[in-house]
Amino acid sequence: MRNTMRNYLLTLIILTILSPSAFGQQKKISKQVRFTADTLNNVYIPQNLEDCFGQLDKFWNDSTKTQAKQWTEDEFSANAHFGIGMWIRNNWQLWGGSRLSIFFNEMGIYHPDDMSGIIIHSYHRYLTGKTISLPDQVKYYQDY
């Protein structure tokens, strides 16, 4: 199981490095389009946290989700930050701006690392059936 997750994360890192956005080949998109579009650079951009969960559920098979549930929230977060977390930041356009970044901006969260951190922590809580506690997470990052 551990090798499966490690291979999955390695694959995500490689795909992120080889994506067109990694080489500055993104198309110039107006802010009006960027902040409202459901797809940027051929990648679907979630609208909110629940939509993120749906997309992550599609990415990961059941065995990967089972492995993720076995980790503590902190272990999951540490393992995910440079794998799926980097993919989220780059492909869901949290650095350049997207409708998902606007979702977080409206809550007072502005840094892409904080946005992906909330997504990762919340997804683990979603997988393990725990309360998301979004206002508490937002406060944590705002105080930090």
* Model pLDDT for residues 78-129, shown as the tens digit of each residue: 999 889 999 999 999 999 899 999 999 999 999 999 999 999 999 999 999 9
Mean pLDDT of 49-69: 95
Of the chain, the percentage scoring pLDDT greater than 70 comes to 79
Residue 95 lies in a domain: yes
SS3 for the chain is: CHHHHHHHHHHHHHHHHHCHHHHCCCCCCCHHHHCCCCEECCEECCCCHHHHHHHHHHHCCHHHHHHHHHCCHHHHHHHHCCCHHHHHHHHCCCCCCCHHHHHHHCCCCCCHHHHHHHHHHHHHHHHHCCCCCHHHHHHHHHHC
Residue 129 lies in a domain: yes
Residue 121 lies in a domain: yes
Residue 60 lies in a domain: yes
When divided into structural domains, the chain yields a total of 1
pTM, two decimals, is 0.78
Domain that holds residue 113: 41-143
* Residue 10 predicted with pLDDT over 90: no
Query: What does the pLDDT read at residue 38?
Result: 77
